[in-house]
């Protein structure tokens, strides 16, 4: 047990050292940091403004009120935001392959995944967390909080971050094969975020099933939020799914490790 724990402690320490340096670099230009941060907060915030404007003409969307949608929006936004802040740089694998910086990383005594994720760590990505956290906090005032609900909410945000983390890494790994595939990854990460900003009742059942069993984005907010809001599942899916978010998160971690290793092995065996 000692070895893996030690490896993880090292990885975290290395990650923090690299990220801290980029934070210092970003804060060296405070004006640029703040305009960029406010800019990205405004852009992500527009999503919710659009939903809010919609509710001037409608009372419910897919059977859900504005506060309920705020909860869904906030939950998926927090999951994506945390993953994006911590490891969003992973989508630049293709750049590193093209520019040869990946070779430089490979001759350093730090896990390659840690280096790729921590590279150019951008504190301005906190903006998305702040903005979606605000919406989540507002929506949470409408929730009838109990101890189990608090626990499920925490579990939801943690599992959601892990799920987005995995999707970022898995789809970014495609760039080991074709270095132009970064947009493809965005379709699943940022795209997945956009889909889950709405109650899944607006989509056909087939899509909901896919988002449960294929690309488990429904676990990022939909199932746990049904529990927080005390609602029945409109599609009659089993009730235990509301507590099951850690299961797809853990499974995806396994898939991620596999895909990452295959990607690196492909690189070291082709050296393209």
| Residues forming the site for another protein (CB under 8 A) | 13-14, 17-18, 21, 24-25, 99-101, 103-104, 106-111, 265, 268-271
Question: What is the sign, positive or negative, of the torsion defined by CA atoms of 6, 8, 12, 15?
Answer: positive
| Cβ 104 to another protein shortest distance, Å | 4
| Cβ 86 to another protein shortest distance, Å | 18
Q: Which residue has the tokens 């909860």?
A: 71
CB nearer to another protein: pick between 17 and 202: 17
CB nearer to another protein: pick between 98 and 149: 98
Question: What is the sign, positive or negative, of the torsion defined by CA atoms of 3, 4, 8, 14?
Answer: positive
> C-alpha angle with apex 231: 227 to 234, nearest 5 degrees?
115
Q: How far apart are the C-alpha atoms of 62 and 117, rounded to whole Å?
A: 37
Q: Which residue has the tokens 């000692």?
A: 2
CB nearer to another protein: pick between 17 and 46: 17
| Cβ 13 to another protein shortest distance, Å | 8
Q: How far apart are the C-alpha atoms of 174 and 184, rounded to whole Å?
A: 9
| Cβ 253 to another protein shortest distance, Å | 21
CB nearer to another protein: pick between 99 and 262: 99
């Amino acid at each position: 047990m000692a070895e893996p724990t030690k490896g993880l402690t090292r990885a975290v320490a290395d990650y923090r050292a690299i990220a801290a340096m980029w934070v210092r670099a970003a804060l060296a230009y405070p004006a640029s940091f703040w305009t960029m941060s406010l800019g990205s907060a405004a852009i992500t915030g527009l999503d919710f403004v659009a939903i809010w404007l919609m509710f001037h003409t409608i009372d419910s969307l897919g059977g859900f009120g504005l506060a309920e949608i705020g909860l869904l929006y906030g939950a998926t936004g927090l999951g994506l935001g945390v993953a994006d802040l911590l490891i969003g740089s992973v989508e630049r694998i293709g750049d590193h392959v093209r520019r040869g910086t990946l070779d430089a990383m490979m001759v350093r005594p730090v896990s390659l995944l840690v280096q790729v994720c921590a590279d150019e760590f951008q504190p301005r990505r906190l903006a998305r967390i702040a903005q979606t956290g605000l919406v989540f906090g507002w929506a949470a005032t409408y929730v009838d909080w109990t101890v189990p609900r608090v626990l499920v909410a925490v579990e939801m945000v943690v599992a959601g971050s892990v799920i987005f983390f995995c999707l970022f890494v898995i789809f970014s790994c495609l760039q080991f094969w074709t270095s132009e595939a970064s947009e493809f990854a965005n379709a699943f990460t940022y795209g997945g975020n956009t889909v889950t900003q709405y109650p899944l009742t607006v989509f056909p059942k087939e899509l909901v099933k896919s988002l449960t069993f294929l690309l488990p984005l429904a676990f990022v907010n939909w199932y746990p939020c049904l529990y927080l809001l005390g609602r029945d599942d409109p599609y009659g899916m089993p009730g235990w799914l509301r507590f099951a978010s850690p299961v797809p998160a853990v499974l995806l971690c396994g898939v991620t490790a596999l895909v990452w290793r295959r990607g690196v092995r492909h690189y070291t065996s082709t050296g393209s």
